[in-house]
Chain A
Amino acid sequence: MWKWLHPYAKPETTYHLTGRLIPWFSYLSIILLTIGLVWALLFSPADYQQGDSFRIFYIHVPSATLSMGIYVGMAIAALCSIVWQLKLADASAAAMAPIGAVFTFISLVTGAAWGKPMWGTWWIWDARLTSQLILLFLFLGVIALHNAFEDKVMAGKAAGILTLVGVINIPIIKYSVEWWNTLHQGATVSKMGKPSMTLDMLWPFIFSYMGFIFLIVVITCIRFRTEILARNGMRQWVRDLAVKGES
């Protein structure tokens, strides 16, 4: 496996590979998101208790779970960079942090918008909401630490350590609904085998969820390429690219 992976440790190869992959992923993301969201907003049945306002679920749940997913991805990249000293792993963690922060923010805002009609309040100090807010602070801390260092390599290592320390928050968010039985509802989708929602609601959710995953992949690739260029500005191949003006 290492032999197969080895060429991708070279920034130039990865740069071109991601460049070739971006169009495919963006088409997939656009198609899936269009199908999923149009189906979800126009055709899937309204919830019998919550009416139409439950439809924010199709954005709220993907962004909330994926924000945790991005954090785990960052943590894995940070671990790889600390254990195997992979420079590109640092670059990918740096590329993912702002995306994660934005998705966490989206999940908090959509949650507030959903909470107002359902719970009668924008915000409540519920275990899951609070731990998601802490996740946002962790993302912002990682970004701030990245920006504080002049040297990108040092910044990547320092932010990696902070990311690994913050991983402790992920299981807390994941299980907060089960540990503290508070206002936020429990899991609906992930009950394996028998999800507690009808198929008319589940299918559009799966489409939009996959669409969001590919959206994150596309944005990560774009930011990752920028990070690679920023870190290898002195290399000959980057200069050649700049002279040729090729994407």
Chain B
Amino acid sequence: MSDTAITSQLNQPIALSYRSAFMLILKRDVTLAFRHKDDIINPILFFIIVITLFPLGIGPEANTLSRIAPGIIWVAALLSTLLSLDRLFKSDYNDGSLEQMLLSPHPIFILVLAKIVAHWLLTGLPLIFIAPLLAVLLHLNENSYGALMITLLLGTPILSLIGAIGVALTVGIKKGGVLLSLLVLPLYIPVLIFATSAIDTAAMNLPFTGQLAIIAALFFSTLTLAPFAVSSALKVSTN
């Protein structure tokens, strides 16, 4: 089914259940992304290249690298998420399907959440698969791998959720890219701080459940609140 057909199906006043509306949007976004594979691959390539720059710039000593590895991986993850955020609403905004979604009888919360989940599946999840490989290149401490995976698993959805607010606010602006980073990066700082501190603590063989609990709290609060902010921001942007 083509995406226009799905969108027009959403517009008919038939009552789809929340679950099927969610699944429709999710499938549509994933299908669209797989038809433009560059959109999926480029942020991952960016992630890899940024990480390879650091050993070249700082020098290849294993001790230094393993000390700064958590920070590098997380900062690179923030930047590559930021880079990929633009396509979250932009093309839908340009071809008008975003407005149709807002007009549809289904709660915007569900539709927005589906789009964010699709974005995470396409950018956050691949990062989690590649991160351990890059951690090997950076000589990350052996004890830290578990912490790295868990923080990425809980943390990257937060990046997509908070980023969606920023994109929703700037989608109507012509040159929103630089502005987007100014709006979103300050809000990413807490995730960065707690995630890297969890990985560092794990490297010293200490329990890192405290930091993990805070990241989980951030995850659940953004999961429940961010879609509301995104939908009201989208209403402002589409006017």
Q: Is A144 an interface residue (CB 8 A)?
A: yes
Residues from chain B with a CB closer than 8 A to the CB of A76 are none
Residues from chain A with a CB closer than 8 A to the CB of B172 are 149, 154
Query: CA A134 – CA B185 in complex, angstroms?
Result: 10
Q: How many residues on the A side are at the interface (Cβ–Cβ under 8 A)?
A: 20
Contact of A161 among B162, B185, B187, B229 (CB under 8 A): B229
Q: Given A161-B232, A161-B236, A164-B229, are A134 and B186 also a contact pair (CB < 8 Å)? A: yes
CB of B187 within 8 A of CB of A165, answer yes
Residues from chain B with a CB closer than 8 A to the CB of A158 are 169, 233, 236-237
Q: Given A154-B239, A157-B236, A158-B237, are A165 and B165 also a contact pair (CB < 8 Å)? A: yes
Residues from chain A with a CB closer than 8 A to the CB of B239 are 154
Q: How many interface contacts (CB-CB < 8 Å) are there between A and B?
A: 51
Q: Is A70 an interface residue (CB 8 A)?
A: no
Residues from chain B with a CB closer than 8 A to the CB of A148 are 170, 173, 176, 179
Q: Is A115 an interface residue (CB 8 A)?
A: no
Residues of A at the B interface (CB closer than 8 Å) are 82, 130, 134, 137-138, 140-141, 144-145, 148-149, 154, 157-158, 161-162, 164-166, 172
A-B contact sample (20 more), CB < 8 A, given A134-B186, A162-B169, A165-B162: A130-B189, A141-B186, A145-B169, A145-B170, A148-B170, A148-B173, A149-B172, A149-B173, A154-B237, A154-B239, A157-B236, A158-B233, A158-B237, A161-B165, A161-B169, A161-B236, A164-B229, A165-B165, A166-B186, A166-B187
Subset of 7 A-B contacts with CB under 8 Å: A134-B186, A137-B186, A145-B179, A145-B183, A157-B236, A161-B233, A165-B187
Top 4 A-B residue pairs of the complex, sorted by shortest distance between their CB atoms: A137-B186, A157-B236, A141-B183, A158-B169
